[in-house]
A and B are shown apart, each in its own frame.
Chain A
Amino acid sequence: RKEVEQDPGPFNVPEGATVAFNCTYSNSASQSFFWYRQDCRKEPKLLMSVYSSGNEDGRFTAQLNRASQYISLLIRDSKLSDSATYLCVVNLDTGRRALTFGSGTRLQVQP
Chain B
Amino acid sequence: DVKVTQSSRYLVKRTGEKVFLECVQDMDHENMFWYRQDPGLGLRLIYFSYDVKMKEKGDIPEGYSVSREKKERFSLILESASTNQTSMYLCASSLQGAVYNEQFFGPGTRLTVL
Q: Of A43, A46, A103, which is within 8 A of B40 by CB? A: A103
A87 at the interface (CB under 8 A from B): yes
Contact bitstring A36-73, B, C-beta under 8 A = 1, else 0: 00000011111000000000000000000000000000
**Which chain B positions have C-beta within 8 A of A97?**
31, 50, 100
Chain A: minimal CB distance from B64 (Å): 15
**Which chain B positions have C-beta within 8 A of A99?**
45, 100, 103
| Nearest-CB residue, chain A, relative to B4 | A43
B99 at the interface (CB under 8 A from A): yes
Contact bitstring A92-104, B, C-beta under 8 A = 1, else 0: 0000111111111
Q: Of A32, A44, A91, A103, which is within 8 A of B105 by CB? A: A44
| Nearest-CB residue, chain A, relative to B58 | A98
Q: How far is the CA of A102 from the CA of B31 in the complex (A)?
A: 21
**Which chain B positions have C-beta within 8 A of A103?**
40-42
Q: How large is the interface on A (under 10, 10 to 19, 20 to 34, 35 or more residues)?
A: 20 to 34
Q: Of B31, B43, B58, B107, which is within 8 A of A87 by CB? A: B43
Q: Of A43, A46, A100, which is within 8 A of B107 by CB? A: A43
Interface size on B, residues (CB 8 A): 22
Q: How far is the CA of A34 from the CA of B90 in the complex (A)?
A: 18
B48 at the interface (CB under 8 A from A): yes
14 example contacts (A-B, Cβ-Cβ < 8 A) are as follows A34-B100, A43-B107, A43-B108, A45-B105, A46-B102, A87-B43, A98-B33, A98-B48, A98-B56, A100-B45, A101-B44, A103-B40, A103-B42, A104-B42
B-side residues, CB < 8 A to A, are 31, 33, 35, 40-45, 48, 50, 56, 58, 90, 99-100, 102-103, 105-108
